[in-house]
Amino acid sequence: MIYEVLVNDYRNGFLENIHPGHICGVDETGMIKYEVGDSEHWTFLRSALKPIQAIPAIANHIQEHFKLTNRETSLIAASHRGEEFHIDELEKLLDKIGVAEEKLLCHPTYPLNPEAKDALLKKNQPKRRLYHNCSGKHLGMLALAKVLGVSTEGYFEMEHPVQQEIIRALSSISGCNVEQIRTGVDGCGVPVYALPLKYIANAYLRFARPELICDRSIQEAVLKITSIMNENPDIISGTNAICTSLLMDDNIVAKGGAQGVYCFGLKEEKLGFSLKVMDGSEEQWPLIVASILEQIEYENKNTIQRLYQLSQKEIYNDNNKLVGNKEAVFKLAEV
């Protein structure tokens, strides 16, 4: 397997861990412009799929049908952290769509945000499906089923019309034929798809440059989703999260997924990037993305600085003593 080391961890100057992986960057023609490792590496999108899963819902006008605000709508593309402001909007979304919380397939859990979880535990509050970081996505799928006039039962099965709409949207925006796309089951129970990184980068290029999409309805949906994500960066992820930091920059559309996959598109630069950290870690994302932006000489230094503030380049122990550091070591080769 071809891969390169993306990040090194050092303790007292000695190499302790390496984080290998792959990076692919495509230009406006869809051709590979930057590569680290293997751009052909097959990668499950995991939650980086969420903005794409939202395309059929937006294209079929669920926002207008259920009279959703942009903030409520943004949840269908989100990996929310279950903070209080997330739950407030999710409750509204649940009510407007008109489904019982028990209809969501995602398992009851506590929020991913530690403070939100601790607050619930202190009050002895139970787990809920709405606290699951994928609950907004599931509500979007249920809303789409209602608008399509099909049963909401089994909305998570591959043969259900909702899932068929999603895989067609993925094929259209990525350029990867449906027959080539590999399938799996995501952590929350719905289908998830694997594509070579070059196709994933191509999809995020089109989120940044919707005019490159031939299908008019998908183009309009992508334009709407991107606008809503940039308008509500805190909803898409949460406090002190990389997606929130990147989406604060209106030139960037970005989304990450479990097991080390991260994707973003740059509007002015007409570039799409996808990356996979092969050890599945997410802690390396801010450092890797900051390094990519620096290496392509990205002009918005405030965005890069926010990423470095999140990156935890310095390693502290439990006694808050500085014991090591992390360093991005890859060179973004131009193809």
Question: Using one digit for the tens of pLDDT, what is the confidence trace for 87-138?
Answer: 999 999 999 999 999 999 999 999 999 999 999 999 999 999 999 999 999 9
Residue 335, pLDDT above cutoff 90: no
The string of pLDDT tens digits covering residues 257-285 is 999 999 999 999 999 999 999 999 999 99
**For position 333, what pLDDT does the model report?**
84
The string of pLDDT tens digits covering residues 312-331 is 899 999 999 999 999 999 99
The string of pLDDT tens digits covering residues 152-169 is 999 999 999 999 999 999
The string of pLDDT tens digits covering residues 207-253 is 999 999 999 999 999 999 999 999 999 999 999 999 999 999 999 99
The mean pLDDT value for 294-312 works out to 96
The mean pLDDT value for 282-301 works out to 97
Residue 1, pLDDT above cutoff 80: no
**For position 218, what pLDDT does the model report?**
98
- The percent of residues above 70 in pLDDT, for the chain, comes to 100
**Which three-class secondary structure string do you get for the chain?**
CCCEEEEEEEECCEEEEEEEEEEEEECCCCCEEEEECCCCCEEECHHHHHHHHCHHHHHCCHHHHCCCCHHHHHHHHCCCCCCHHHHHHHHHHHHHHCCCHHHCCCCCECCCCHHHHHHHHHCCCCCECCCCCCHHHHHHHHHHHHHHCCCCCCCCCCCCHHHHHHHHHHHHHHCCCCCCCEEEECCCCCEEEEEEHHHHHHHHHHHHCHHHCCCHHHHHHHHHHHHHHHHCHHHHCCCCCHHHHHHCCCCEEEEEECCCEEEEEECCCCEEEEEEECCCCCCCHHHHHHHHHHHCCCCCHHHHHHHHHHCCCEEECCCCCEEEEEEECCCCEEC
Task: Please name each of the domains of the chain with its CATH number.
Answer: 4-334 (3.40.710)
The string of pLDDT tens digits covering residues 73-84 is 999 999 999 999
**For position 99, what pLDDT does the model report?**
96
